[in-house]
Amino acid sequence: MSSQWIFLNGQFVKKEEAVVSVYDHGFLYGDGVFEGIRAYSGNIFKLDEHVNRLYDSAKSILLELPYEKEEFKQVIVDTIRQNELSDAYIRVVVSRGPGNLGLDPASCPTPRVVIIAEALALFPKELYERGLRLGSVASRRNRPDVLSPQVKSLNYLNNILVKLEANQAGVDEALMLNDQGYVTEGSADNIFIVKNGTIYTPPVYLGALEGVTRNAIIDLAEEHGYELKQEPFTRHDVYVADEVFLTGTAAEVIAVVDVDKRQIGNGLPGEVTNHMLQLFRELVVRDGVQCYPENKKDVAV
Ligand code: PMP
Protein backbone atom coordinates (compact mmCIF):
# COMPACT_ATOMS: atom_id res chain seq x y z
CA MET A 1 0.00 0.00 0.00
CA SER A 2 1.53 3.31 -1.06
CA SER A 3 0.04 5.64 1.53
CA GLN A 4 -2.31 5.56 4.42
CA TRP A 5 -5.52 7.53 4.12
CA ILE A 6 -7.20 9.17 7.07
CA PHE A 7 -10.83 10.23 7.00
CA LEU A 8 -10.78 13.82 8.23
CA ASN A 9 -13.78 16.15 8.19
CA GLY A 10 -15.53 14.55 5.26
CA GLN A 11 -12.60 13.64 3.04
CA PHE A 12 -9.67 11.29 2.79
CA VAL A 13 -6.30 12.90 3.33
CA LYS A 14 -2.83 11.38 3.45
CA LYS A 15 -1.58 10.46 6.90
CA GLU A 16 1.18 13.08 6.75
CA GLU A 17 -1.38 15.78 5.99
CA ALA A 18 -3.98 14.71 8.54
CA VAL A 19 -3.74 17.44 11.16
CA VAL A 20 -6.18 19.13 13.49
CA SER A 21 -6.16 22.62 15.00
CA VAL A 22 -4.39 23.32 18.29
CA TYR A 23 -7.59 25.21 19.16
CA ASP A 24 -9.62 22.04 18.89
CA HIS A 25 -11.24 21.45 22.27
CA GLY A 26 -10.46 17.78 21.90
CA PHE A 27 -6.82 18.82 22.20
CA LEU A 28 -7.29 21.65 24.69
CA TYR A 29 -9.71 19.91 27.06
CA GLY A 30 -10.23 16.29 26.04
CA ASP A 31 -13.68 17.36 24.89
CA GLY A 32 -14.85 14.66 22.53
CA VAL A 33 -15.61 10.96 22.21
CA PHE A 34 -14.04 7.97 20.51
CA GLU A 35 -14.36 4.29 19.62
CA GLY A 36 -11.92 1.49 18.93
CA ILE A 37 -13.26 -1.04 16.43
CA ARG A 38 -11.78 -4.02 14.64
CA ALA A 39 -12.11 -5.66 11.27
CA TYR A 40 -11.32 -9.32 10.73
CA SER A 41 -10.96 -10.73 7.23
CA GLY A 42 -12.73 -7.68 5.80
CA ASN A 43 -15.66 -7.87 8.27
CA ILE A 44 -16.14 -5.14 10.83
CA PHE A 45 -16.99 -6.74 14.14
CA LYS A 46 -20.07 -5.39 15.98
CA LEU A 47 -20.17 -2.19 13.95
CA ASP A 48 -23.71 -1.37 15.09
CA GLU A 49 -22.77 -1.78 18.76
CA HIS A 50 -19.72 0.47 18.42
CA VAL A 51 -21.57 3.16 16.49
CA ASN A 52 -24.47 3.04 18.94
CA ARG A 53 -22.03 3.48 21.82
CA LEU A 54 -20.36 6.38 20.00
CA TYR A 55 -23.72 8.11 19.56
CA ASP A 56 -24.63 7.48 23.20
CA SER A 57 -21.29 8.93 24.36
CA ALA A 58 -21.84 11.97 22.12
CA LYS A 59 -25.41 12.45 23.30
CA SER A 60 -24.30 12.36 26.90
CA ILE A 61 -21.91 15.28 26.34
CA LEU A 62 -24.33 17.17 24.03
CA LEU A 63 -22.07 16.71 21.03
CA GLU A 64 -24.09 16.60 17.87
CA LEU A 65 -22.58 14.26 15.31
CA PRO A 66 -22.56 15.56 11.74
CA TYR A 67 -23.84 12.28 10.23
CA GLU A 68 -26.78 9.96 10.61
CA LYS A 69 -25.77 6.59 12.04
CA GLU A 70 -26.07 4.79 8.70
CA GLU A 71 -23.83 7.37 7.02
CA PHE A 72 -21.33 7.06 9.84
CA LYS A 73 -21.16 3.30 9.43
CA GLN A 74 -20.63 3.76 5.72
CA VAL A 75 -17.67 6.12 6.17
CA ILE A 76 -16.07 3.61 8.52
CA VAL A 77 -16.46 0.91 5.83
CA ASP A 78 -15.16 3.38 3.23
CA THR A 79 -12.05 4.04 5.34
CA ILE A 80 -11.24 0.32 5.36
CA ARG A 81 -11.79 0.11 1.62
CA GLN A 82 -9.80 3.26 0.88
CA ASN A 83 -6.83 1.70 2.69
CA GLU A 84 -7.42 -1.75 1.14
CA LEU A 85 -7.36 -3.34 4.57
CA SER A 86 -8.69 -6.66 5.65
CA ASP A 87 -7.56 -7.08 9.28
CA ALA A 88 -7.48 -3.72 10.95
CA TYR A 89 -7.86 -1.65 14.05
CA ILE A 90 -10.11 1.35 13.48
CA ARG A 91 -10.03 4.46 15.64
CA VAL A 92 -12.98 6.82 15.38
CA VAL A 93 -12.60 10.19 17.07
CA VAL A 94 -15.16 12.97 17.23
CA SER A 95 -13.92 16.12 18.90
CA ARG A 96 -15.84 19.22 19.85
CA GLY A 97 -13.87 21.04 17.15
CA PRO A 98 -11.94 24.30 17.11
CA GLY A 99 -13.07 27.13 19.37
CA ASN A 100 -11.50 29.79 21.53
CA LEU A 101 -9.33 29.20 24.61
CA GLY A 102 -12.21 29.17 27.10
CA LEU A 103 -13.61 25.75 27.88
CA ASP A 104 -17.17 26.65 26.91
CA PRO A 105 -18.16 24.32 24.04
CA ALA A 106 -20.42 27.10 22.76
CA SER A 107 -17.36 28.52 20.95
CA CYS A 108 -17.01 25.29 18.92
CA PRO A 109 -19.66 25.21 16.21
CA THR A 110 -18.26 22.34 14.15
CA PRO A 111 -17.26 18.92 15.51
CA ARG A 112 -14.33 17.19 13.85
CA VAL A 113 -14.53 13.58 12.71
CA VAL A 114 -11.37 11.52 12.30
CA ILE A 115 -11.22 7.86 11.29
CA ILE A 116 -7.90 6.04 11.27
CA ALA A 117 -7.62 2.43 10.10
CA GLU A 118 -4.38 0.50 10.39
CA ALA A 119 -3.24 -3.03 9.88
CA LEU A 120 -3.16 -4.03 13.48
CA ALA A 121 -0.06 -4.80 15.46
CA LEU A 122 -1.75 -7.49 17.52
CA PHE A 123 -0.84 -8.12 21.10
CA PRO A 124 2.20 -10.39 20.76
CA LYS A 125 1.19 -14.03 20.35
CA GLU A 126 3.27 -15.11 23.33
CA LEU A 127 1.14 -12.97 25.66
CA TYR A 128 -1.87 -15.15 24.81
CA GLU A 129 0.24 -18.22 25.52
CA ARG A 130 1.86 -17.11 28.75
CA GLY A 131 -0.91 -14.81 30.08
CA LEU A 132 -0.67 -11.40 31.72
CA ARG A 133 0.44 -10.21 35.13
CA LEU A 134 -2.11 -7.93 36.73
CA GLY A 135 -1.47 -5.52 39.58
CA SER A 136 -3.95 -3.59 41.66
CA VAL A 137 -3.31 0.15 41.78
CA ALA A 138 -4.00 2.93 44.25
CA SER A 139 -5.99 5.08 41.80
CA ARG A 140 -9.71 4.33 41.84
CA ARG A 141 -12.11 4.18 38.93
CA ASN A 142 -14.01 7.40 38.27
CA ARG A 143 -17.25 7.34 40.16
CA PRO A 144 -20.04 6.74 37.63
CA ASP A 145 -22.06 9.61 39.10
CA VAL A 146 -19.14 12.01 38.55
CA LEU A 147 -17.88 10.98 35.12
CA SER A 148 -19.59 7.92 33.77
CA PRO A 149 -17.26 5.22 32.41
CA GLN A 150 -19.98 4.65 29.77
CA VAL A 151 -18.95 7.92 28.11
CA LYS A 152 -16.01 6.85 26.00
CA SER A 153 -14.58 10.33 26.09
CA LEU A 154 -11.25 11.78 25.05
CA ASN A 155 -10.61 12.32 28.76
CA TYR A 156 -8.82 9.04 29.51
CA LEU A 157 -6.60 10.33 32.31
CA ASN A 158 -8.19 8.02 34.87
CA ASN A 159 -7.12 5.07 32.73
CA ILE A 160 -3.74 6.56 31.88
CA LEU A 161 -2.95 7.08 35.57
CA VAL A 162 -3.61 3.43 36.36
CA LYS A 163 -1.56 2.34 33.36
CA LEU A 164 1.34 4.44 34.68
CA GLU A 165 1.00 2.76 38.06
CA ALA A 166 1.00 -0.66 36.41
CA ASN A 167 4.14 0.25 34.45
CA GLN A 168 5.85 1.42 37.62
CA ALA A 169 4.90 -1.82 39.38
CA GLY A 170 6.34 -3.82 36.48
CA VAL A 171 3.08 -5.60 35.61
CA ASP A 172 1.28 -5.87 32.28
CA GLU A 173 -2.05 -4.37 33.25
CA ALA A 174 -3.79 -2.62 36.12
CA LEU A 175 -6.66 -3.92 38.21
CA MET A 176 -8.88 -0.94 38.93
CA LEU A 177 -11.19 -0.88 41.94
CA ASN A 178 -14.02 1.54 42.54
CA ASP A 179 -14.33 3.86 45.54
CA GLN A 180 -15.95 1.03 47.53
CA GLY A 181 -13.12 -1.37 46.80
CA TYR A 182 -15.03 -3.52 44.31
CA VAL A 183 -13.28 -4.69 41.18
CA THR A 184 -14.27 -2.74 38.06
CA GLU A 185 -11.97 -3.36 35.08
CA GLY A 186 -8.48 -2.93 33.66
CA SER A 187 -7.13 0.27 32.11
CA ALA A 188 -8.71 -0.56 28.74
CA ASP A 189 -10.37 -3.94 29.17
CA ASN A 190 -13.10 -5.69 31.11
CA ILE A 191 -12.39 -8.43 33.63
CA PHE A 192 -13.87 -11.88 34.11
CA ILE A 193 -13.08 -14.50 36.74
CA VAL A 194 -13.95 -18.18 36.81
CA LYS A 195 -14.64 -20.04 40.04
CA ASN A 196 -15.88 -23.64 40.27
CA GLY A 197 -17.06 -23.52 36.65
CA THR A 198 -19.07 -20.28 37.00
CA ILE A 199 -17.96 -17.14 35.17
CA TYR A 200 -18.30 -13.78 36.91
CA THR A 201 -17.90 -10.23 35.64
CA PRO A 202 -18.66 -7.03 37.55
CA PRO A 203 -21.93 -5.26 36.72
CA VAL A 204 -21.10 -2.11 34.76
CA TYR A 205 -22.81 0.16 37.30
CA LEU A 206 -19.86 -0.47 39.63
CA GLY A 207 -17.72 1.56 37.22
CA ALA A 208 -16.78 -0.41 34.12
CA LEU A 209 -17.26 0.47 30.49
CA GLU A 210 -19.88 -1.79 28.96
CA GLY A 211 -17.40 -3.38 26.57
CA VAL A 212 -18.55 -4.67 23.21
CA THR A 213 -16.22 -7.65 23.64
CA ARG A 214 -17.53 -8.17 27.19
CA ASN A 215 -21.07 -8.41 25.86
CA ALA A 216 -20.01 -10.76 23.08
CA ILE A 217 -18.31 -13.02 25.64
CA ILE A 218 -21.38 -13.00 27.89
CA ASP A 219 -23.51 -14.10 24.91
CA LEU A 220 -21.03 -16.77 23.84
CA ALA A 221 -20.69 -18.13 27.38
CA GLU A 222 -24.45 -18.36 27.79
CA GLU A 223 -24.93 -19.93 24.35
CA HIS A 224 -22.39 -22.59 25.27
CA GLY A 225 -24.03 -23.51 28.55
CA TYR A 226 -21.77 -21.72 31.04
CA GLU A 227 -23.30 -20.19 34.12
CA LEU A 228 -22.41 -16.50 34.04
CA LYS A 229 -23.15 -13.99 36.77
CA GLN A 230 -22.78 -10.22 36.72
CA GLU A 231 -22.02 -9.74 40.40
CA PRO A 232 -19.81 -7.47 42.49
CA PHE A 233 -16.56 -9.07 43.66
CA THR A 234 -13.42 -7.99 45.47
CA ARG A 235 -9.70 -8.38 44.99
CA HIS A 236 -9.79 -11.44 47.23
CA ASP A 237 -12.17 -13.17 44.80
CA VAL A 238 -9.73 -12.44 41.98
CA TYR A 239 -6.79 -13.83 44.00
CA VAL A 240 -8.55 -17.12 44.66
CA ALA A 241 -10.21 -17.50 41.25
CA ASP A 242 -9.48 -20.60 39.18
CA GLU A 243 -9.07 -18.41 36.10
CA VAL A 244 -8.99 -14.72 35.29
CA PHE A 245 -9.21 -13.14 31.85
CA LEU A 246 -9.57 -9.72 30.28
CA THR A 247 -11.59 -8.73 27.22
CA GLY A 248 -11.40 -5.79 24.84
CA THR A 249 -11.29 -4.84 21.20
CA ALA A 250 -7.48 -4.80 21.21
CA ALA A 251 -6.96 -7.57 23.78
CA GLU A 252 -9.73 -9.88 22.51
CA VAL A 253 -9.72 -12.52 25.28
CA ILE A 254 -6.47 -12.74 27.20
CA ALA A 255 -5.59 -14.79 30.25
CA VAL A 256 -4.29 -13.35 33.50
CA VAL A 257 -1.96 -15.74 35.32
CA ASP A 258 -0.73 -13.59 38.20
CA VAL A 259 -2.52 -10.96 40.29
CA ASP A 260 -0.50 -9.03 42.90
CA LYS A 261 1.97 -11.96 42.96
CA ARG A 262 -0.79 -14.53 43.58
CA GLN A 263 -0.54 -17.20 40.92
CA ILE A 264 -3.86 -17.91 39.23
CA GLY A 265 -4.61 -21.60 38.70
CA ASN A 266 -1.48 -23.41 37.58
CA GLY A 267 0.06 -20.22 36.20
CA LEU A 268 -1.04 -20.85 32.63
CA PRO A 269 -4.12 -19.77 30.66
CA GLY A 270 -7.02 -21.91 31.88
CA GLU A 271 -9.47 -24.14 30.06
CA VAL A 272 -12.47 -21.80 30.15
CA THR A 273 -10.34 -18.84 29.04
CA ASN A 274 -8.92 -20.78 26.12
CA HIS A 275 -12.39 -21.95 25.17
CA MET A 276 -13.75 -18.40 25.23
CA LEU A 277 -10.83 -17.18 23.10
CA GLN A 278 -11.46 -19.95 20.58
CA LEU A 279 -15.20 -19.20 20.44
CA PHE A 280 -14.47 -15.50 20.08
CA ARG A 281 -12.03 -16.02 17.22
CA GLU A 282 -14.55 -18.24 15.45
CA LEU A 283 -17.23 -15.59 15.90
CA VAL A 284 -15.23 -12.65 14.55
CA VAL A 285 -14.53 -14.26 11.20
CA ARG A 286 -18.12 -15.31 10.52
CA ASP A 287 -19.84 -12.23 11.97
CA GLY A 288 -19.67 -8.58 11.09
CA VAL A 289 -20.32 -6.03 8.38
CA GLN A 290 -18.59 -6.94 5.15
CA CYS A 291 -16.40 -4.25 3.64
CA TYR A 292 -15.91 -6.11 0.35
CA PRO A 293 -19.23 -7.81 -0.41
CA GLU A 294 -18.28 -7.97 -4.10
CA ASN A 295 -15.45 -10.42 -3.22
CA LYS A 296 -17.71 -12.76 -1.31
CA LYS A 297 -17.47 -16.25 -2.69
CA ASP A 298 -20.52 -18.47 -2.65
CA VAL A 299 -19.45 -21.46 -0.67
CA ALA A 300 -21.23 -24.65 -1.54
CA VAL A 301 -22.39 -26.56 1.51
N1 PMP B 1 -12.86 -0.69 29.48
C2 PMP B 1 -12.24 0.41 29.02
C3 PMP B 1 -11.94 1.50 29.97
C4 PMP B 1 -11.87 0.51 27.67
O5 PMP B 1 -11.27 1.60 27.21
C6 PMP B 1 -12.15 -0.57 26.80
C7 PMP B 1 -11.73 -0.50 25.36
N8 PMP B 1 -12.69 0.11 24.57
C9 PMP B 1 -12.81 -1.69 27.32
C10 PMP B 1 -13.14 -1.73 28.66
C11 PMP B 1 -13.20 -2.83 26.44
O12 PMP B 1 -14.26 -2.43 25.62
P13 PMP B 1 -14.49 -3.04 24.17
O14 PMP B 1 -14.64 -4.51 24.34
O15 PMP B 1 -15.72 -2.38 23.68
O16 PMP B 1 -13.27 -2.70 23.38
pLDDT of residue 300: 46
Identity of the residue numbered 85: L
- Do 113 and 135 lie in a common domain? no
Q: Let me know whether 143 and 252 are in one domain.
A: yes
Q: How confident is the model at residue 123 (pLDDT cuts 50, 70, 90)?
A: confident
Ligand 1 centroid to 71 CA: how many Å? 24
In a domain, 191, yes or no: yes
Contact partners, residue 23, CB within 8 Å, separation at least 6: 98, 99, 100, 101
**Domain housing 109:** 5-119
Dist CA 232 CA 134 (whole Å): 19
**Last residue of a domain, which of 98, 119, 140?**
119
* In a shared domain, residues 129 and 115: no
52 and 73 assigned to the same domain? yes
Mean pLDDT of 173-202: 98
Reduced to 3 states (helix: H, G, I; strand: E, B; else coil), residue 185 is strand
What ipTM is given for this predicted complex? 0.99
CB 33 within 8 A of CB 58: yes
Number of domains into which the chain is organized:
2
Both 9 and 113 in a single domain?
yes
300 within domain boundaries:
no
Which pLDDT value is given to residue 241? Answer: 98
CATH code at position 91: 3.30.470.10
Distance 203 CA to ligand 1 centre (A): 14
Q: Is residue 291 part of a domain?
A: no
The residue among 84, 119, 154 that closes a domain is: 119
Contacts of 19 (CB under 8 A, 6+ apart): none
Residue 116 has pLDDT above 50, yes or no: yes
Ligand 1 touching residue 202 (CB < 6 A): no
70 and 111, same domain (yes or no) = yes
Clarify whether residues 269 and 131 are in a common domain: yes
Decide whether any atom of ligand 1 lies within 6 Å of the 155 Cβ.
no
Measured over the CA atoms of residue 194, residue 197, residue 203 and residue 209, the dihedral's sign is positive
First to last CA, the chain: 35
Q: Are residues 155 and 64 in the same domain?
A: no
Q: For residues 131-167, b (16+ Cβ closer than 10 Å) or e, as one string?
A: bbbbbbbebbbbebeeebbbbbbbbeebbebbbebbe
Higher pLDDT, 35 or 127: 35
